[in-house]
Amino acid sequence: MVHQDATRCLKCKNALCQKHCPIITDVPKIMELYLNGDVQSAQQLLFANNPFSAICSLVCDHQRQCYGNCVLNFKKEPIHFYEIEQELSLPYLKEVHFKHNDVTKKKVAIVGSGPAGISCAMFLSDEGYDVTIYEANDKIGGVLTYGIPDFRLSKELVKQYARILNEKGVKIRLNCMIGTSISLSALKAEHDAIIIAVGTQKAKMMHIPNETRYNVHYAIDYLKSPQSFDLGKKVIVLGGGNVAMDACRMAKKQGYDTYVYYRKTFEDMPANKIEVEEALAEGVKFATFEVPIAITNDGMIFAKGENIIDEHGRKQTKVIENTEHHVACDSVIVAVSQTLRLDFPELKLNKWQFYETKQGHMTSMDNVFVCGDAYLGAKTVVAAVADAKKTVEEVKEHING
Ligand X SMILES: Cc1cc2nc3c(=O)[nH]c(=O)nc-3n(C[C@H](O)[C@H](O)[C@H](O)COP(=O)(O)OP(=O)(O)OC[C@H]3O[C@@H](n4cnc5c(N)ncnc54)[C@H](O)[C@@H]3O)c2cc1C
Between CA 129 and CA 101 the distance in angstroms is 9
Q: Which is nearer to ligand X, 85 or 246 (CB)?
A: 246
Provide the 3-class DSSP secondary structure of residue 363: strand
Residue with smaller CB distance to ligand X, 9 or 247 = 247
From the CB of 214, what's the least distance to ligand X, in Å? 22
Neighbours of 177 (CB within 10 A): 14
d(CA 277, CA 336): 20
User: In terms of CB distance, is 107 or 379 closer to ligand X?
Assistant: 379
CA–CA dist 347, 269 (Å, integer):
34
Q: Closer to ligand X at the Cβ: 8 or 341?
A: 341
Which residues, in sequence order, are bridge partners of residue 54? none
User: Nearest distance from residue 68's CB to ligand X, in Å?
Assistant: 15
Beta carbon of residue 55, minimum distance to ligand X (angstroms, whole number): 8
Q: Which stretch binds ligand X (CB under 6 A): 24-32, 122-130, 295-303, 380-388?
A: 380-388
Contacting ligand X within 107-146 (CB under 6 A): 111-117, 134-137, 142-143
Q: For residue 179, state whether it binds ligand X (rule: CB under 6 A).
A: yes
Ranges within 327-366 binding ligand X (CB under 6 A): 343
Tally of CB atoms within 10 A around 347: 18
- For residue 374, give every residue at least 6 positions away whose Cβ sits within 8 Å of its Cβ, in sequence order, or none: 112, 116, 196, 197, 198, 199, 200, 340, 354, 355
Within residues 295-314, the interface with ligand X by CB under 6 A covers none
Which residues, 255 to 274, sit near ligand X by CB under 6 A?
Answer: 272
Task: Indicate the pairing of strand 216-218 with strand 331-334.
Answer: parallel
The burial of 233, by beta-carbon neighbours within 10 Å (0-12 exposed, 13-18 middle, 19 or more buried), is given as: exposed
The H or E element that residue 95 is part of is helix 81-95
CB of 257 to ligand X, least distance (A): 21
Q: Shortest approach of ligand X to residue 86 CB, angstroms?
A: 14
Contact 315, 268 (CB under 8 A): yes
Query: Which of 15, 157, 178, 300 is in the footprint of ligand X by CB under 6 A?
Result: 178
| Strand positions, DSSP E, 184-330 | 193-196, 202-203, 216-218, 234-238, 257-261, 285-287, 290-296, 299-309, 315-319, 325-328
**9 vs 153, beta carbon nearer ligand X:** 153
Residue 302 CB, shortest distance to ligand X, in Å, is: 23
* Shortest Å, Cβ 74 to ligand X: 27
Amino acid at the residue 201: Q
Print the binding letters for residues 57-76 with ligand X: x by CB under 6 A, - otherwise.
--xx----------------
Instruction: Give, for 338, the enclosing helix (H) or strand (E).
Output: strand 338-339
Smaller CB separation from ligand X, 279 or 374: 374
Q: Which has the closest alpha carbon to 296: 246, 263, 332? A: 332
CB of residue 116 to ligand X, shortest distance in Å: 3
CB of 259 vs ligand X, minimal distance in Å? 18
Q: Which of 85, 87, 130, 246 binds ligand X (CB under 6 A)?
A: 246
Kindly tell me which of 34 and 119 has the beta carbon lying closer to ligand X.
119
Give yes or no for residue 381 binding ligand X (CB under 6 A): yes
SS3 label, residue 163: helix
Give the chain's largest Cα–Cα span: 69
* Site size with ligand X, rule: CB under 6 A: 39
Q: What three-state secondary structure class fits 151?
A: coil
Q: Which is nearer to ligand X, 323 or 367 (CB)?
A: 367
Q: State yes or no: residue 220 binds ligand X (CB under 6 A).
A: yes
The verdict on 177 binding ligand X (CB under 6 A) reads yes
Query: Least distance to ligand X from the beta carbon of 303, Å?
Result: 27
Q: Does 380 bind ligand X (CB under 6 A)?
A: yes
Q: Characterize the bridge pairing of strands 285-287 and 357-359.
A: unpaired
d(CA 331, CA 221) in angstroms, rounded, equals 14
Nearer to ligand X by C-beta: 45 or 109? 109
Q: Is 193 exposed, middle or buried (0-12, 13-18, 19+ CB in 10 A)?
A: buried
Provide the binding-site residues for ligand X, judged by CB under 6 A.
Answer: 59-60, 111-117, 134-137, 142-143, 147-148, 177-179, 197-199, 201, 220, 223, 242-243, 246, 272, 343, 372-374, 379-382, 384
